[in-house]
């Protein structure tokens, strides 16, 4: 069956030529040489007349298959070429064309990062109103009636005896009233203060508070949770320092410093040469807060913590002006794409 072998050889020769050709002219040449009136495949077909009928049919069919195959290969090679116009004026360095994507606000990115870390630890989300009652914002949280935070200087008051919540901890007070331990919650949200706007202070900021209430919860549990969060968020080698402090709604209370994320504790401008950055406040929920919510503080104990999203974003991205967050200048927003 030497004719069939000839066809096979011609086919592979043609395909190789096609794959090595890079211009329309070269493809035409291939077409003429193999498929043209005087082409090699045509020449094979011309010899068929001398063969017996059944052999003729067989070879004819495979000759046509070869023909179609070569034809299709030329076509698809040409198609590729034409989308690039010609090989010589194609420029892969031209920017690709698509509607540029937008940016999720950096505060929401950081807030999500924080929340996601706590999701991993099994905390659920709870929410509450921004316009709060004095009771949930202060009284239920063990603020004495004459606490300075209840002064006009610190808190924005709203007509009809409401306040713009000064922290998201009121959500804790609300949640405790309606749920039974074990409770394991984070409360992300917006909070407000009566502050003059400057590079370091604003009338509003975002906070993620968290709390856990169950039997037998101790400072050690609180420390474990905070250490786990800080390692997940700032990296495995972060160091922590717990400084006893004071908040009306926790007792005992502490502030937590992490080793400076920039200088790793050696001292730099960011950490004011202390090697530490203050990152969050925490403590054991004051028994009064539990009692106010109708939870037996003898049986149950709990911890709570709170962190400022702007502060963490400013530290993490070295943002030096808190006003940038609410200005929403797209040149700022798009830096965090």
Partner 1 sequence: MKISYNWLIELTGLDWSVEELSNRLTNCGTAVEDSEATDRYMDKVVVGEVLDLKPIEGADKIRLATVNIGSETMDLICGAPNAAKGQKVAVAQLGANLVGDLKIKKVKIRGIESCGMICSERELGISDDHSGIIVLPQDAPVGQLLAEYLDFKDTQLTFELTPNRPDSMSAIGLARDAAALASVKVKKPEIKLTESPENASDYISVKIDDPDACPRYAARIIKNVKIEPSPWWVKKKLIVCGIRPINNIVDITNYVLLESGHPLHAFDYDRFGSKEVVVRRAKDKEKFSTLDGNEHTCNPDVLLITNGKKGVAAGGVMGGLNSEVENDTNNILLEAAYFDPSIIRKSRKHLGFVTESSTRFEKGADPNDGLIYALNRAAALIAELSGGKVLKGIVDCYPNKIEPKKIKLRFSRCHALIGKELSKKRIIQILSDLELAVEDKGDNLSVTVPTFRPDLEREIDLIEEVARMEGWGNIPDAITNIGSLFTPLFDDDKFAEESRIVLTSAGFDEMVCHGLVDSKLAEKVNPGSQFVKIVNPSSSDLNVMRNNLVMSALPVINHNMSHRNMDLMLFELGKVYFPPDKNGEWIEDNRIILVVTGNSHINWREKPRAFDFYDLTGAINSLSKHFHLSEFEYCPGKIDYFEDKLSYEIKFNGTVIGCIGQVKASLAKASDIKQPLFLAEFSIKLLIENSNRVGDFKPLPQFPAAPRDLAIVVDVSVPAGDLLAGVKKAAGDLAEKVEIFDLYTGKQIEKGKKSIAISISYRHPERSLSGEEVDERQGKVIRSLKEKYNAEIRDK
Which is nearer to Zn ion, 164 or 261 (by Cβ)?
A: 261
Q: Which of residues 97-136 bind partner 1 (CB under 8 A)?
A: 97, 99-105, 107-108, 112, 118-120, 122-125, 127, 129-131
Check residue 260 for interaction with Zn ion (CB under 5 A): yes
CB of 296 to partner 1, least distance (A): 14
Tokens (6 digits) for 210: 């968290």
Q: Which of residues 249-288 bind partner 1 (CB under 8 A)?
A: 251-254, 284, 286-287
Which is nearer to Zn ion, 30 or 261 (by Cβ)?
A: 261
Question: How far apart (Å, rounded) are the C-alpha atoms in residues 336 and 334?
Answer: 5
Q: Which of residues 14-73 bind partner 1 (CB under 8 A)?
A: none
CB of 173 to partner 1, least distance (A): 17
Among 268, 278, 316, 326, interactor with Zn ion by CB under 5 A:
268
Whose CA is closest to 4, among 53, 49, 45? 45
Binding mask 269-298 for Zn ion (x = CB under 5 A): -xx---------------------------
Question: How far apart (Å, rounded) are the C-alpha atoms in residues 169 and 141?
Answer: 8
- Neighbouring-strand partners of residue 46: none
Query: Cα–Cα distances in Å, from 68 out to 63, 207, 260?
Result: 9, 69, 71
Name every residue whose Cβ is closer than 8 Å to that of residue 289 and which is 6 or more positions away in sequence.
Answer: 140, 141, 142, 172, 173, 176, 249
Which is nearer to Zn ion, 203 or 263 (by Cβ)?
A: 263
Binding mask 172-191 for partner 1 (x = CB under 8 A): ----------xxx-----x-
Helix (H, G, I), strand (E, B) or coil at 96: coil
Check residue 263 for interaction with Zn ion (CB under 5 A): yes
Query: Cα–Cα distances in Å, from 328 out to 89, 191, 208, 324?
Result: 42, 18, 21, 7
The residues that touch Zn ion, with contacts defined as CB under 5 A, are 260, 262-263, 268, 270-271
């Amino acid at each position: 069956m030497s004719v069939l072998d000839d066809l096979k050889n011609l086919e592979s020769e043609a395909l190789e030529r096609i794959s090595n050709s890079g211009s329309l002219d070269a493809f035409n040449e291939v077409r003429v040489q193999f498929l043209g009136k005087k082409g090699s495949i045509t020449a094979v077909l011309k010899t068929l007349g001398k063969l017996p009928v059944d052999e003729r049919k067989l070879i004819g069919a495979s000759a046509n298959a070869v023909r179609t195959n070569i034809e299709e290969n030329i076509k698809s090679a040409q198609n590729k070429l034409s989308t690039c116009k010609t090989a010589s004026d194609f420029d892969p360095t031209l920017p690709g064309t698509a509607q540029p994507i937008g940016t999720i606000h950096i505060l929401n990115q950081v807030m999500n990062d924080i929340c996601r870390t706590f999701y991993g630890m099994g905390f659920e989300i709870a929410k509450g109103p921004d316009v709060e009652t004095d009771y949930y914002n202060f009284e239920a949280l063990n603020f004495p009636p004459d606490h300075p935070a209840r002064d006009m200087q610190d808190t924005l008051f709203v007509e009809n005896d409401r306040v713009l919540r000064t922290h998201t901890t009121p959500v804790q007070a609300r949640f405790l009233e309606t749920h039974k331990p074990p409770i394991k919650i984070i409360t992300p949200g917006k909070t407000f203060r009566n502050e003059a706007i400057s590079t370091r202070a604003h009338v509003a900021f975002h906070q993620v508070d968290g709390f856990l209430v169950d039997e037998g919860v101790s400072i050690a549990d609180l420390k474990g949770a905070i250490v786990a969060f800080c390692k997940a968020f700032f990296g495995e080698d972060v160091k922590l320092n717990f400084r006893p402090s004071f908040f009306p709604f926790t007792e005992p209370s502490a502030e937590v410093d992490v080793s400076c994320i920039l200088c790793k504790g050696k001292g730099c401008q960011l950490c004011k040469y202390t090697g530490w950055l203050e990152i969050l406040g925490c403590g054991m929920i004051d028994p009064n807060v539990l009692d106010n919510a109708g939870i037996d503080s003898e049986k149950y104990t709990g911890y709570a913590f709170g962190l400022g999203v702007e502060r963490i974003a400013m530290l993490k991205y070295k943002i030096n002006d808190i006003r940038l967050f609410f200005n929403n200048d797209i040149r700022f927003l798009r830096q965090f794409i």
